[in-house]
Structure 1
Amino acid sequence: GGPFDEAQMPLSAAAKANILRKYGLDKPLYVQYLLYMGNALRGDFGISFQSPDETVIQLIARTWPVSIQLGGLTVILAMGTGLALGTIAAVRQNTWVDYVVTTFATLGLTVPNFVVAIWLILIFAVQLRWLPVGGWGDDWRQMIMPVIALGLGPMGITARYTRSSLVDVIGADYIRTARAKGLNERMVLMRHAFKNALIPIITVLGPRIPDLITGTIFIETMFRVPGLGKFFVTSVTQRDYPMIMAVMLLIAAVWGFVYLLTDLLYTVIDPRIRLS
């Protein structure tokens, strides 16, 4: 179907033909494609069907900063906490601390974020009434539950891979040599072990960043966050094709940039990659 196929309020044939002509949907598909690509190369992605007063670029400019803010806070929480927990678990491997961190990380990985969101709303918003149910920007407390619900999964992944990478590195010969030279444990861990364990961690964490900063469908919808993910859902349900295609191109561009940045970080962390 098309964006103007209304079942409950059908348009007359003449009115529908005029609308299709206005948006260029009456032309053959190959003509529509060539027109779209020509305009897109000039930064013109058309006008949103669901919001005719705004261009697609204006809608993205209005909604994406909210998603970037939510995703940025989530990245800081997930990466910082995950790295710390994974490091503690690796240093205290096979102790109760290790088991607690591993269990917590596994729960963060296996429980979907919308399930976590429901429990957070039930406990902290409905029962205890400590936090507002939803919204964004009016009160800093509105950020707490969305960031936690969105960040538990990436935090679990970060903790598990940090622990696994550090455990492998800590058992290496050069780490034993560094300890034999009399270096203190913190110096050995931060200067030698952690730096060499970063490459597999970055490999896993890099692709997570585009997912977080380009909008999250479930979290933004459940907490009424006016971000790109929530708007993308309404674009799909209303068949707003210009908005859908522009968002997909944006996501693809962000993915490409992050993968390029990840490859460049490899050469900064390990000079042997640059030399080879």
Structure 2
Amino acid sequence: MTDHTTETGQSRIRSRFEACAREGRAALVTFVTAGDPDLATSSAILAALPGAGADLIELGVPFTDPMADGIPVQLAGQRALKAGQTLKKTLAMVDDFRKAGHDTPIVLMGYYNPIYVYGVERFLKDARRCGVDGLIVVDLPPEEDAELCIPALEAGISFIRLATPTTDDKRLPKVLQNTSGFVYYVSVTGVTGGAIADYGAVGEAVTRIKRHTELPVAVGFGVKTAADAATIAKSADGVVVGSALVERVRLSLDAEGKATEKTVSAVTSLVEELAGGVRQGRKAA
């Protein structure tokens, strides 16, 4: 395992958002599930994302009980687990990505159980060495910060928190107190993959969150097309797309659920479209 700790996760994420801001646009944050539909294909997708226009990458860690995920991400996790994906293999994917010279920030997204089983101290040491920049752990609330959030920050890894439409001004400071990297605003209540009903409300929510933090605010859940991305990009610092990308993986598979020669390009072609949408939605100077 190579040591990729020359730049900390906090600084690499911050630098990328700052670079996008200098271009007057939001960052495109893409989510894919590690090991979906198999390790080799997933690694090829990961390697291709920066060239397709991904500014940051969320790499989903598959888990047997993904309570916050909608059907597309649940199915992606099932495919990955069936193919033998583990947290150790996911870290190795990041290590290989860094060895290939990619500096795109990578955030591991998932649940606490696989990290707990791996061992927190060992996990943070290995994650840092592999070049992981941040963590999103959806089932660890701020009240549990001592479990992983504080140790992660001390290890130089950002801990990114989710805010939702139900996170009111009373709760928000608690959610944000140890958040670093960026704030992930979940634009719809419910599981991943739902539709955004009110774009105006998203803009108002971003403005409200920014009253409480100087961190970039990225908006996800429900972004499926370049037009969606362009609309969200007008008010957010980042646009997160996940379910639409893992659905592209599923639709590219053969009758046995195996990868085809179209699988990688099915994902990257949508990323290219979304990157164009983010650039169309340039912020007013």
TM-score (norm 1): 0.20
| Structure of larger gyration radius | 1
Q: If each structure's strand is expressed as a fraction of its own residues, which one has the higher value?
A: 2
Q: If each structure's helix is expressed as a fraction of its own residues, which one has the higher value?
A: 1
